[in-house]
């Protein structure tokens, strides 16, 4: 499959694509566009951006082409051995998983826009990118000509994003036999030496833990945007990260997020890109790839993303504990922890996993999976006196199921965990992975043994603590954004009610209070009566000074 990509007016954000197919050996040719992309496990229907798809034979004669499904086309090839398919694609969504064209750059996630022929996913692919001669390229693809690239399969092509732009800053560093590149589109107000110092530290540690790096080169591709943004997507030997506002990267808070997402995406090079659930080996691009092990693919990666930064000395202890407390806060403010397990939430990722969804229905595989990884890591360390850890689990998983890309099952992961733990972990998997038992059952026991106090922190806002409602401010107006179960607010108020008499003094009384709301155009009055409960409380951790176990876990 050979692709040619060009455009005429970048301000229209439309790219023109030609697919050339040789050795066609059937009278009817089925063409498909992927309906989802690896890294985001939900149907996205990229075909809605396609315009004017037509097919031609080797003489330029148009062939019959009918749409069979939302992202499948059937071409009446007849006796033609060579076919060209021409179409356009609207590329105007800037994030780490989509495509964008403007007067400064062409940014492509090929999974969005390249159609493939049935039965030819494992064939070599070539791509020619027609851009101005002064444009530079940032990609993990192998370049074979001035504007030409090729891969050994469609799978690798669509797992290799590309940016062509007028101005791209390149930073690089070497570790062992692998060269790591940072391609910066936009402004990164940090020196090369600063960036290399931090990246080298966490990269070296990741390679040390996993035993090897699976690629001779790796490409961090950054869209440093002038507005607020944060997104990252992992790929075969690269990642795209969109982040902003770029000018704030000179300050520690956003630069810390820049480091965090970079460490997270780099660890994906092993975990999920190659070490993948069996249900996703190989990818089925046209349908959901249901699996229950998102707590491994995303949860373990989320845990390790920040942990590597602390253990390598890039994060301070205070910064690491701050990130840990964010995980705990998200966990305890989501009542879905009582209703759906992380394994079931992984399966349902294909349904609504990236949306806020019904209040209290589900949990995040990223957040909950990270806390489960932490619990498992501490349990193994405690039992073995730090002689073994989650590092051993992931290294063994890599050797058995990732390096050869055979894929693993839920039971495979449990078996490896128990092998490293040297005992049964059935309670852990039944109660916390496939069940909804409170995590504090484990955390209350584990944290103090690793130098951390684990205490309940009540909400500082009386409206939340006493009455069980969270407010969100929008243009000077206040709306109910969350309501705690069994709280006074739950009895009389609704999500999205606008509180009309909101003031700093409204919730100060410990007695009954009157509240006025606008509920979709109806003005109502209600009375909130305290019932003695404390709502929106969360558990948080803090360091116990001088505890050596904390150092053995998190490093000096």
Give the pLDDT confidence of 169-224 residue by residue, as tens digits.
999 999 999 999 999 999 999 999 999 999 999 999 999 999 999 999 999 999 99
- State how far the Cα of 192 lies from the Cα of 200, in Å rounded to an integer: 12
Predicted pLDDT at 417: 98
Q: How confident is the model at residue 497 (pLDDT cuts 50, 70, 90)?
A: very high
Asked if residue 298 lies in contact with residue 354, where contact means CB atoms within 8 angstroms, the answer is no
Asked if residue 436 lies in contact with residue 517, where contact means CB atoms within 8 angstroms, the answer is no
Average pLDDT along the chain: 96
Predicted pLDDT at 139: 98
Residue 548 lies in a domain: no
Residue 343, pLDDT > 90, answer: yes
DSSP code string of 291-316: -S-HIIIIIIHHHHHHHHHHHTTSS-
Residue 556, pLDDT > 80, answer: no
Helices (H), 282-402: 294, 301-311, 317-332, 342-347, 349-352, 365-384, 390-397
What average pLDDT score do residues 12-25 get? 96
- State how far the Cα of 237 lies from the Cα of 489, in Å rounded to an integer: 50
Residue 556 lies in a domain: no
- Predicted structure pTM score: 0.96
Q: What are phi and psi of 58, to 5 degrees?
A: -65, -15
Q: How many CB atoms lie within 10 A of CB 148?
A: 15
| Cis upstream peptide for 282 (omega within 30°) | yes
Residue ending a domain, among 165, 200, 228, is: 165
Predicted pLDDT at 394: 98
Q: What is the CATH number of the domain that holds 216?
A: 3.30.2010.30
- State how far the Cα of 89 lies from the Cα of 48, in Å rounded to an integer: 9
Looking at the structure, tell me whether residues 35 and 160 fall in a common domain: yes
State which H helix or E strand residue 428 sits in: helix 426-428
State which H helix or E strand residue 125 sits in: strand 125-129
- Closest alpha carbon to 195 in 170, 215, 213, 218: 170
Residue 334 lies in a domain: yes
Asked if residue 299 lies in contact with residue 370, where contact means CB atoms within 8 angstroms, the answer is yes
Q: At 256, is the secondary structure helix, strand, or coil?
A: helix
- State how far the Cα of 49 lies from the Cα of 90, in Å rounded to an integer: 5
Looking at the structure, tell me whether residues 132 and 219 fall in a common domain: no
Q: Is 552 exposed, middle or buried (0-12, 13-18, 19+ CB in 10 A)?
A: middle
Strands 50-56 and 105-108: unpaired
- State how far the Cα of 19 lies from the Cα of 33, in Å rounded to an integer: 12
According to DSSP, residue 64 is labeled: P
What average pLDDT score do residues 463-476 get? 94
Q: How confident is the model at residue 504 (pLDDT cuts 50, 70, 90)?
A: confident
Residue 505, pLDDT > 90, answer: no
Predicted pLDDT at 473: 94
Looking at the structure, tell me whether residues 300 and 445 fall in a common domain: yes
According to DSSP, residue 159 is labeled: T
- Closest alpha carbon to 44 in 30, 33, 31: 33
Q: How confident is the model at residue 490 (pLDDT cuts 50, 70, 90)?
A: very high
How does pLDDT run across 215-274, given as a tens digit for each residue? 999 999 999 999 999 999 999 999 999 999 999 999 999 999 999 999 999 999 999 999
Number of compact structural domains in the chain: 4
Strands 162-165 and 169-175: unpaired
Q: What is the CATH number of the domain that holds 427?
A: 1.10.390.10
Residue 327 lies in a domain: yes
Looking at the structure, tell me whether residues 134 and 158 fall in a common domain: yes
Q: At 406, is the secondary structure helix, strand, or coil?
A: coil
Q: At 410, is the secondary structure helix, strand, or coil?
A: helix
Residue ending a domain, among 397, 432, 453, is: 453
What average pLDDT score do residues 493-518 get? 91
What average pLDDT score do residues 61-84 get? 96
Looking at the structure, tell me whether residues 442 and 478 fall in a common domain: no
Predicted pLDDT at 372: 98
- State how far the Cα of 284 lies from the Cα of 393, in Å rounded to an integer: 28
What average pLDDT score do residues 94-112 get? 98
According to DSSP, residue 400 is labeled: I
Residue 337, pLDDT > 80, answer: yes
Residue 264 lies in a domain: no
According to DSSP, residue 278 is labeled: G
Q: What is the CATH number of the domain that holds 45?
A: 2.60.40.3650
What average pLDDT score do residues 273-302 get? 97
Asked if residue 434 lies in contact with residue 440, where contact means CB atoms within 8 angstroms, the answer is no
Residue 254 lies in a domain: no
The 10 Å CB-count burial string (b at 16+, else e) for 481-517 is ebbbeebbbeebbeeebbbeebeeebbeeeeebebeb
Residue 538 lies in a domain: no
What percentage of the chain exceeds 70 in pLDDT?
A: 100
Residue 510, pLDDT > 80, answer: no
Q: How confident is the model at residue 54 (pLDDT cuts 50, 70, 90)?
A: very high
What percentage of the chain exceeds 90 in pLDDT?
A: 96
What average pLDDT score do residues 135-141 get? 98
Looking at the structure, tell me whether residues 78 and 152 fall in a common domain: yes
Integer Rg of the chain from CA: 26
Residue 326 lies in a domain: yes
Residue 246 makes CB contacts below 8 A (sequence gap 6+) with: 186, 187, 188, 189, 224, 225, 226
Q: How confident is the model at residue 485 (pLDDT cuts 50, 70, 90)?
A: very high
State which H helix or E strand residue 17 sits in: strand 14-21
- State how far the Cα of 35 lies from the Cα of 42, in Å rounded to an integer: 9
Tokens of 145: 């000509």
Q: How confident is the model at residue 509 (pLDDT cuts 50, 70, 90)?
A: confident
Looking at the structure, tell me whether residues 38 and 77 fall in a common domain: yes
Q: How confident is the model at residue 84 (pLDDT cuts 50, 70, 90)?
A: very high
Q: What is the 3-state secondary structure (H, E, C) of 231-251?
A: EEEECCCEEEEEEECHHHHHC
Q: Which domain holds residue 14?
A: 2-165
Residue 353, pLDDT > 90, answer: no
Asked if residue 35 lies in contact with residue 71, where contact means CB atoms within 8 angstroms, the answer is yes
Predicted pLDDT at 257: 98
Predicted pLDDT at 61: 96
């Amino acid at each position: 499959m050979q692709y040619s990509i060009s455009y005429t007016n970048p301000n229209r954000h439309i790219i023109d694509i030609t697919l050339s197919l040789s050795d066609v050996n059937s009278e009817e040719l089925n063409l498909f566009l992927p309906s989802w992309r690896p890294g985001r496990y939900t149907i996205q229907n990229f075909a809605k951006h396609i315009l004017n798809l037509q097919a031609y034979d080797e003489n330029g004669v148009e062939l019959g082409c009918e749409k069979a499904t939302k992202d499948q086309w059937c071409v009446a090839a007849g006796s033609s051995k060579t076919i060209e398919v021409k179409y356009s694609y609207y590329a105007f969504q800037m994030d780490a998983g989509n495509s964008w064209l403007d007067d400064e750059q062409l940014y492509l996630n090929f999974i969005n826009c390249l159609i493939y022929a049935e039965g030819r996913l494992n064939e070599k692919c070539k791509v020619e990118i027609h851009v101005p001669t002064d444009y530079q390229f940032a990609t993990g693809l192998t370049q074979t000509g001035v504007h030409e690239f090729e891969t050994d399969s469609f799978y690798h092509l669509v797992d290799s994003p590309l940016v062509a732009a007028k101005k791209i800053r390149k930073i690089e560093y070497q570790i062992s036999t692998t060269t790591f590149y940072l391609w910066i589109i936009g402004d990164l107000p940090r020196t090369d030496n600063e960036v290399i110092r931090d990246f080298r530290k966490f990269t070296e540690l990741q390679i040390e833990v996993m035993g090897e790096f699976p690629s001779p080169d790796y490409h961090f591709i950054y869209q440093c945007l002038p507005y607020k943004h944060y997104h990252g997507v992992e790929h075969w030997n690269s990642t795209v990260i969109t982040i902003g506002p770029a000018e704030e990267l000179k300050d520690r808070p956003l630069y810390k997020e820049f480091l965090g997402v970079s460490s997270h995406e780099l660890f994906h090079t092993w975990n999920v890109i190659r070490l993948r659930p069996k249900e996703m080996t190989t990818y089925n691009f046209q349908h959901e790839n249901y699996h229950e092990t998102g707590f491994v693919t995303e949860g373990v990666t989320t845990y390790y993303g920040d942990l590597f930064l602390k253990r390598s000395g890039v994060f301070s202890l205070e910064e690491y504990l701050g990130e840990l407390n964010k995980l705990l806060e998200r966990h305890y403010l989501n009542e879905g922890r009582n209703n759906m397990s992380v394994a079931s939430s992984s399966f349902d990722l294909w349904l609504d996993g990236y949306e806020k969804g019904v209040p209290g229905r589900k949990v995040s595989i990223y957040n909950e999976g990270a806390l489960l990884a932490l619990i498992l890591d501490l349990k193994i360390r405690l039992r073995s006196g730090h002689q073994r850890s989650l590092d051993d689990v992931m290294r063994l998983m890599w050797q058995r199921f990732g390096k050869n890309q055979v894929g693993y099952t839920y039971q495979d992961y449990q078996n490896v965990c128990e092998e490293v733990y040297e005992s049964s972990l059935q309670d852990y998997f039944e109660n916390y992975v496939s069940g909804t038992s409170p995590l504090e059952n484990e955390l209350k026991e584990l944290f103090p043994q690793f130098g951390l106090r684990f205490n309940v922190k009540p909400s500082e806002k009386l409206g939340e603590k006493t009455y069980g409602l969270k407010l969100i401010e929008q243009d000077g107006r206040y709306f109910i954004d969350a309501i705690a179960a069994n709280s006074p607010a739950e009895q009389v108020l609704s999500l999205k009610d606008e509180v009309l008499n909101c003031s700093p003094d409204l919730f100060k009384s410990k007695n009954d209070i009157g509240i006025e709301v606008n509920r979709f155009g109806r003005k109502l009055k209600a009375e909130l009566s305290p019932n003695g409960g404390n709502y929106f409380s969360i558990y948080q951790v803090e360091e116990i000074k001088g505890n050596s176990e904390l150092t053995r876990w998190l490093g000096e």
